[in-house]
Amino acid sequence: MRILVYTGKGGVGKTSVAAASAVRCAALGYRTVVVSTDLAHSLADSLDVALGPDPSQVAPNLWAQETDIYNNLQTHWGDVQHWLNAVLRWSGEVDRLVADELTVLPGMDELANLLWINRHRESGNYDVIVVDAAPTGETLRLLSFPDVMRWWMQRIFPIQRRAMGLARPLISSFVDIPLPTEKVYDSVERLFTQLDALHAMLVDPRLTSIRLVLNPEKMVISEAERTSTYFHLFGYPMDLVIANRILPDEVTDPYFAAWKDTQARYMRRVEEGFAPVPIKTSPLFEDEVVGLDALRRMAAAVYGDDDPARVFFEGRAQVLESLPDGGYRLTIPLPFATHGDVTLRQTGDELFVHVGAHRRHIILPRALIGLTAARAKLDEASANLAIFFEPTRS
C-alpha cells in the first residue's frame, strides 16, 4: 500500500495535482481513494462530481471523499474537549463560546481528518491513498503533531492515571476543579495510539511519499523551501516537487515575455533549492483543470508514463544533527560530480552554498538562526557536504 500526500501554499494547484495523480493511479489498476483533508474542500469541483464525507466511487478503481471536520473532531476529541471546556469555565475567565474555540488545538480539526488514513489502511480496501492536504503551514504543524501533542497533554494531565484513580476521592473533596473522568483518559489514550500509528506511517518512506506542489514564483518558492526544510527536520519523506502552471513554449505572445523569463529564473532556483529531490512540471493549461479528462491530461504532463505510486527519491536531502559542543552539523548530499572550493554565504535564515560551479540554496530551520555556518567539509567518497554551525561570537 502507498500513501501519497500533496501539499503546498494556497492556490498552487494541490487539489488538481492530487486528483490527477489519483485518476492516473486508478487507471493503472490500483484501488485508489483520494481524500481531501482541507477545511475548504474543492476536490468535488476538481473531479466535477458531488462528494460526501465517506468515500464514494467516481470512476473504475477510484473513490473520493471530502471529510466532515465537525464529525471527525467530535469522534476523536469530543470527550476531551468536554473536560477541557469544563476546566476553562470553572476558572470563570472564559465563557462557553470562547471555551469551545480554545479546546480545539490548532491543527486538531485537520488532524482528525488525517486519521482517515488509519481507517483506510486498516480496511484493506485500497492500494493507494492520495491525500489532498491543507495549505502548507497547517499540514506541517499537523504532521509534527503526535510528539508535540504528547508533550502538551502530559502537562495538562497533571498526575499519572493510576495515581489519579486513587487520589480522586481525596482531591475531589478538597477542590472542586473538574477532574478528567475515565472516559476522558480513554479518549486521550485512544487518540495517542492512533496518532502514533499515523505518525509511524507518514515517516515510513516505503509507505508514504510527500510531494510539494509549487509555482515558479518568488514567494511560493520561499515557502516551499521552508516547508521542505521542516519535512527533513521531522523526517517526513519528500520524494517529489511538482512545479505547476509553467507557461508552455507555444505561448509566444509578448504580453507573457516577462513572465516566461521570471519562470525560467525561478525554475533554476527550484533546482538549487530542492536537488536532489526530482522536479516534475505541469504547464499552465488553456483552461481550468476540471473533470476526469482534464485531470488525465494533467497526469500525463506531470508523470509522462511514470507511475505516481512509485517512490521517486529515497534518502534525506538534508540531515541536521546537534553536536556535543552546542553546535550543529547539517549534511546535504551533492548528487553532481563534486570537487572545487566550497563557499558559504549566510543571510538571516538563508544559506547559499557554492561548490565549484554548483549552487545550492537552503532555508535554515529555526534552531540554526543566530548560529554561524563556520566551515564546510566535502566528503567525496559519500558525495556529502557537511556544514558546521557554531554559536556566533560577538
Ligand X SMILES: Nc1ncnc2c1ncn2[C@@H]1O[C@H](COP(=O)(O)OP(=O)(O)OP(=O)(O)O)[C@@H](O)[C@H]1O
Asked whether 120 and 131 are in contact (CB, 8 A), the reply is no
244 touches Mg ion (CB under 5 A): no
Q: Which of 251, 290, 342, 344 binds ligand X (CB under 6 A)?
A: 290
Q: Which of 2, 16, 120, 346 binds ligand X (CB under 6 A)?
A: 16
| Number of residues lying near Mg ion (CB under 5 A) | 3
What angle do helix axes 292-303 and 14-27 make, rounded to 10 degrees?
90
Task: Give the DSSP per-residue string, 280-345.
Answer: EEEEPPSS---SHHHHHHHHHHHHTT--TTS----S-S-EEEE-TTS-EEEEEE--S---S-EEEE
Helix, strand, coil in percent for the chain, rounding step 5 = 45, 25, 35
Q: Determine the interface stretch with ligand X among 185-193, 267-275, 278-286, 379-387 (rule: CB under 6 A).
A: 278-286
Q: Which of 2, 4, 15, 103 binds ligand X (CB under 6 A)?
A: 15
Residue 209 vs 282, nearer CB to ligand X: 282
Q: Determine the interface stretch with Mg ion among 40-48, 112-120, 195-203, 338-346 (rule: CB under 5 A).
A: 40-48
CA–CA distance, 394 with 389 (Å, rounded to integer): 15
Phi-psi label, residue 176: left if phi above 0, alpha if psi -120 to 50, beta otherwise: alpha
139 touches Mg ion (CB under 5 A): no
Residue 135 vs 273, nearer CB to ligand X: 135
CB of 19 to Mg ion, least distance (A): 9
CB of 217 to Mg ion, least distance (A): 17
141 touches ligand X (CB under 6 A): no
Q: Which of 288, 293, 307, 379 binds ligand X (CB under 6 A)?
A: 288
285 touches ligand X (CB under 6 A): yes
Asked whether 239 and 380 are in contact (CB, 8 A), the reply is no
280 touches ligand X (CB under 6 A): no
| 28: nearest Cα among 307, 297, 312 | 307
Q: Determine the interface stretch with ligand X among 13-21, 52-60, 90-98, 175-183 (rule: CB under 6 A).
A: 13-21
Q: Determine the interface stretch with Mg ion among 14-22, 228-236, 293-301, 357-365 (rule: CB under 5 A).
A: 14-22
CA–CA distance, 179 with 384 (Å, rounded to integer): 53
Q: Which of 25, 26, 35, 38 binds ligand X (CB under 6 A)?
A: 38
Residue 79 vs 225, nearer CB to ligand X: 225
Residue 111 vs 289, nearer CB to ligand X: 289
15 touches Mg ion (CB under 5 A): yes
Q: What is the CA radius of gyration of the chain?
A: 24
288 binds, among Mg ion, ligand X, none (CB under 5 to 8 A by kind): ligand X
| 277: nearest Cα among 232, 318, 313, 330 | 313
Asked whether 219 and 13 are in contact (CB, 8 A), the reply is no
- Report which residue type is found at 157: F
Q: Determine the interface stretch with ligand X among 168-176, 222-230, 261-269, 277-285 (rule: CB under 6 A).
A: 277-285
Q: Which of 42, 85, 262, 372 binds ligand X (CB under 6 A)?
A: 42
136 touches Mg ion (CB under 5 A): no
CB of 10 to ligand X, least distance (A): 4
Q: Determine the interface stretch with Mg ion among 39-47, 77-85, 259-267, 284-292 (rule: CB under 5 A).
A: 39-47
| 34: nearest Cα among 20, 53, 19 | 19
Please compute, for residue 210, the number of CA atoms within 13 A of its CA located in the half-sphere on the CB side: 28
Cell 498526575 locates to 159
13 binds, among ligand X, Mg ion, none (CB under 5 to 8 A by kind): ligand X
Asked whether 360 and 228 are in contact (CB, 8 A), the reply is no
CA–CA distance, 365 with 362 (Å, rounded to integer): 9
What residues form DSSP beta bridges with 386?
331, 377
Chain positions contacting ligand X, by CB under 6 A: 10-16, 38, 42, 135, 244-245, 282, 284-285, 288-290
Name the residues that contact Mg ion, by CB under 5 A: 14-15, 42
